[in-house]
C-alpha cells in the first residue's frame, strides 16, 4: 500500500509519525506511553494493567464506561488498549468520515479519566478473569517463567493473580499522573492525511491536555543470566511437552543482522518445507514449531519452541541440533537462501494491505527505540542478505554462551534434564567453513 511517512516533534515534546495513505477509507490511531509494570514496585505489579482497563472508561464528559464505549463504537469504530512490561498503547480504527470525532474521544479518555471506585472494582474482576484465561496458555506460562529465571522483569499470570489485591484505585491514579505526560508520548496516525488533515491532526496533538513531564521514560537495564539447569514446570494434565530453547547475545542486533536472522528463521521453521519443521513433519514428529528473535535495551534473544510428545522430543531435538550446526558451518544451499528470500518478499508484500497493517509495520521499532523504518527499502534489504551474514549472525547469537531451556509437562524433571544435556553442545562454538 503506497504511503508517505512524516515524523513530527511537537512543541509539547510528544513525537510521532503521520502516515499518509492516499484515498484510504479508514483512519488508524495508536498512542503509546512508557508506563508498563517495570515502573511499579513488584507487589503493585498489576497497577498499569488495571489503569489501562480503566482509562477507556468513565471520563469528564461520559460518567460511565458503557456510555463512553457506546458513543465511541456507534458507527462501527474499533478501540482497544494493551499493557506490556514496558509500555501501554491505546489504539482505534474508524471510518474515514468520523476520524475527527474518534480522535477527540480517544484524547478525551486519555486526558480526562475519572478512575471511579466502582469501575475499579468491576475492572479488577475483569482483569482476574483475563489472567485466569491466560493462565491456561501453556506457552505463555512457560515463557514468563523463563523470563523471570533469566532475570528480566516478568511475572507469571498465577503470580499476578496473587498480587492483584495489593493495588488500589489511588495507585492507579498516581501511576497515571507519573506516566501520562506529553514528553513520554509517542503516536502513529495513518490514513488519508491530506495537507489540511495533516495540519489538523498535528494541531490537535500539539494541544493535548496533559502535563509536559520530564522526558521519555527510559527502558530498564536488563541483562540475561545463563541457566545451568532447565526450568521445569510440572502440569499433570499436560501429556505433551511445551518447550522453549533460548540463546542470548549481550547486545542489540544491527539492522543487517536482524534481516539475516529473520531469513534464517524462515529457512528453519516458518514453512512446511523448512529445514527443521519440514523435516520433522516428514517424519511425523511434530505438528508445528516456531522460532523468532526479540530484543531488550541491552540484549538480543533467539528462541525456538514447540509442543511435542515425550516419545518424539529427542528425535525433534536431533533435527534442531543438526540443522543449526549446518547453519553454523555454512552448509546452506544457495537455492534454500533464494527460496527463503522469495517467501520473505511475498510475506512482506502481504503485511501491508490495510491501513492498520501499514501503521503496524512502523510501530514496533518506533515505539521501542525511535527508529523510523524505511518501508520501501525492505525488499532491497531482503535481497541483499548474504550467506556470510546468516552464518555470522547465527553464530553470534550462540557465542556468548548465555542460554536456557524450559519445559512444561508431566514428563518429570529427569527427562527435561536429558533434553537439556542433549542441546548443550550447541553452545560449544563450531568452526565455520571458509
CA distances for 18 relative to 29, 94, 107, 359, angstroms:
10, 16, 16, 9
Using CA atoms, how far apart are residues 282 and 273, in angstroms rounded to an integer? 9
More confident residue, 353 or 343: 343
pLDDT at residue 155, as a whole number: 96
The pLDDT of residue 4 is above 60: yes
Together in a domain, 339 and 374:
yes
Check: CB of residue 252 under 8 Å from CB of residue 295.
yes
- Helix axis angle, 255-269 to 275-282, nearest 10°: 10
Residues 6+ apart with CB under 8 A from 335: none
Average pLDDT over residues 1-29: 96
Together in a domain, 139 and 237:
no
Question: Helix or strand or coil: residue 399?
Answer: helix
Together in a domain, 32 and 66:
yes
- Mean pLDDT, the chain, integer: 95
Q: Is residue 225 part of a domain?
A: no
pLDDT at residue 433, as a whole number: 43
Together in a domain, 151 and 269:
no
CATH number of the domain enclosing 299: 3.30.830.10
Together in a domain, 149 and 44:
yes
Together in a domain, 377 and 293:
yes
Q: Is residue 277 part of a domain?
A: yes
The pLDDT of residue 384 is above 80: yes
pTM of this structure: 0.93
The pLDDT of residue 434 is above 80: no
Residues 55-108: tens digit of each pLDDT: 999 999 999 999 999 999 999 999 999 999 999 999 999 999 999 999 999 999
Residue 83 belongs to what domain range? 4-206
Q: Is residue 432 part of a domain?
A: no
Q: Is residue 188 part of a domain?
A: yes
Together in a domain, 242 and 198:
no
- Rg of the chain over Cα atoms, rounded to whole angstroms, equals 23
Q: Is residue 272 part of a domain?
A: yes
Q: Is residue 52 part of a domain?
A: yes
In the listed set 206, 241, 259, which residue is the last one of a domain according to the structure? Answer: 206
Q: Which helix (H) or strand (E) holds 16?
A: strand 15-20
In the listed set 206, 222, 239, which residue is the last one of a domain according to the structure? Answer: 206
395: DSSP letter: H
Residues 149-188: tens digit of each pLDDT: 999 999 999 999 999 999 999 999 999 999 999 999 999 9
Together in a domain, 264 and 298:
yes
The pLDDT of residue 431 is above 60: no
Together in a domain, 196 and 259:
no
Judged on CB neighbours under 10 Å (0-12, 13-18, 19+), 413 is: middle
Q: Is residue 220 part of a domain?
A: no
Together in a domain, 202 and 266:
no
Together in a domain, 187 and 240:
no
In the listed set 155, 189, 206, which residue is the last one of a domain according to the structure? Answer: 206
Q: Is residue 434 part of a domain?
A: no
**What does the CA dihedral 109, 111, 116, 117 come to, rounded to 10 degrees?**
120
Average pLDDT over residues 259-283: 96
Together in a domain, 192 and 241:
no
What is the count of structural domains for the chain? 2
pLDDT at residue 429, as a whole number: 64
Amino acid at each position: 500500500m503506497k504511503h508517505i511517512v512524516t515524523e513530527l516533534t511537537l512543541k509539547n515534546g510528544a513525537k510521532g509519525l503521520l502516515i499518509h495513505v492516499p484515498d484510504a477509507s479508514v483512519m488508524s490511531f495508536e498512542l503509546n506511553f512508557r508506563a508498563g509494570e517495570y515502573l511499579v514496585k513488584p507487589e503493585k505489579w498489576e497497577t498499569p494493567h488495571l489503569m489501562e482497563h480503566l482509562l477507556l472508561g468513565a471520563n469528564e464528559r461520559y460518567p460511565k464506561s458503557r456510555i463512553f464505549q457506546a458513543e465511541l463504537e456507534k458507527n462501527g469504530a474499533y478501540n482497544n488498549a494493551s499493557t506490556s512490561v514496558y509500555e501501554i498503547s491505546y489504539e482505534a480504527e474508524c471510518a474515514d468520515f468520523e476520524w475527527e470525532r474518534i480522535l477527540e474521544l480517544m484524547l478525551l479518555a486519555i486526558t480526562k479519566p475519572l478512575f471511579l471506585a466502582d469501575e475499579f472494582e468491576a475492572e479488577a474482576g475483569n482483569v482476574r478473569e483475563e489472567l485466569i484465561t491466560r493462565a491456561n496458555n501453556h506457552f505463555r506460562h512457560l515463557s514468563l517463567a523463563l523470563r523471570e529465571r533469566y532475570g528480566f522483569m516478568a511475572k507469571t499470570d498465577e503470580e499476578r493473580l496473587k498480587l492483584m489485591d495489593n493495588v488500589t484505585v489511588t495507585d492507579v491514579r498516581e501511576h497515571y499522573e507519573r506516566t501520562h505526560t506529553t514528553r513520554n508520548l509517542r503516536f502513529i496516525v495513518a490514513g488519508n492525511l491530506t495537507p489540511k488533515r495533516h495540519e489538523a491532526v498535528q494541531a490537535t496533538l500539539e494541544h493535548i491536555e496533559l502535563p509536559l513531564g520530564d522526558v521519555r521514560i527510559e527502558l530498564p537495564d536488563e541483562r540475561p543470566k545463563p541457566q545451568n539447569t532447565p526450568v521445569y514446570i510440572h502440569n499433570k494434565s499436560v501429556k505433551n511437552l511445551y518447550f522453549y530453547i533460548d540463546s542470548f547475545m549481550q547486545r542489540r542486533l544491527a539492522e543487517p543482522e536482524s534481516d539475516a536472522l529473520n531469513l534464517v528463521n524462515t529457512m528453519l521453521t516458518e514453512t512446511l518445507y523448512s529445514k527443521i519443521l519440514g523435516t520433522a513433519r516428514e517424519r511425523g514428529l511434530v505438528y508445528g514449531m516456531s522460532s523468532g528473535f526479540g530484543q531488550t535495551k541491552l540484549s538480543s534473544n533467539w528462541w525456538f519452541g514447540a509442543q511435542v510428545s515425550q516419545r518424539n522430543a529427542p528425535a525433534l531435538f536431533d533435527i534442531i541440533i543438526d540443522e543449526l550446526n549446518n547453519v553454523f558451518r555454512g552448509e546452506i544451499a544457495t537455492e534454500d537462501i533464494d527460496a527463503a528470500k522469495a517467501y520473505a518478499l511475498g510475506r512482506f508484500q502481504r503485511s501491508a494491505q490495510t491501513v492498520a497493517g501499514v501503521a503496524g509495520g512502523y510501530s514496533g521499532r518506533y515505539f521501542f527505540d525511535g527508529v523510523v523504518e524505511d518501508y520501501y527499502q525492505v525488499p532491497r534489504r531482503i535481497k541483499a542478505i548474504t550467506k556470510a551474514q546468516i552464518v555470522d549472525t547465527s553464530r553470534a547469537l550462540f557465542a556468548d554462551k548465555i542460554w536456557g531451556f524450559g519445559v512444561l509437562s508431566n514428563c518429570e524433571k529427569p527427562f527435561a534434564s536429558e533434553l537439556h544435556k542433549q542441546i548443550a553442545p550447541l553452545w560449544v562454538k563450531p568452526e565455520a567453513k571458509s
